[in-house]
Amino acid sequence: MDPVVAAAACVASLQTLASREADPATEGVVVSVTRFNTPRESTALNVMPDEVELGGTIPTLALTLSLTVG
């Protein structure tokens, strides 16, 4: 399995959750994936990395939603 493709699918799924599961008028959730890294020792472009690191934030307007997604 390619971890970069799996991580990209996770990012797309997170965006879908924000747009389909929350009411934008009252809950206002934004998913920001701001870090998508592979290990530094993976410098060759033709070698699949063993892992991918994702990072970001999920701010919301509703406290109950913050507790659910956080």
Across the range 14-33, mean pLDDT stands at 81
pLDDT tens, residue by residue, 7-17: 999 999 888 87
Which has more confidence, 63 or 13? Answer: 13
Residue ranges making up the domain that contains 62? 3-69
What's the pLDDT at 66?
66
Q: What is the DSSP string of 7-63?
A: HHHHHHHHHHHHHHSS-TTTT----EEEEEE--TT---TTS--S--EEEEE---S-H
Q: What residues are paired with 57 via a beta bridge?
A: 32
Number of domains in the chain: 1
pTM, entire model = 0.72
- pLDDT at residue 44, rounded to an integer: 76
Judged against a pLDDT cut of 90, whether residue 70 lies above it is answered with no
Q: Which residues contact 26 (CB under 8 A, 6 or more apart)?
A: 61, 62
Residue 38 contacts residue 50 (beta carbons within 8 Å): no
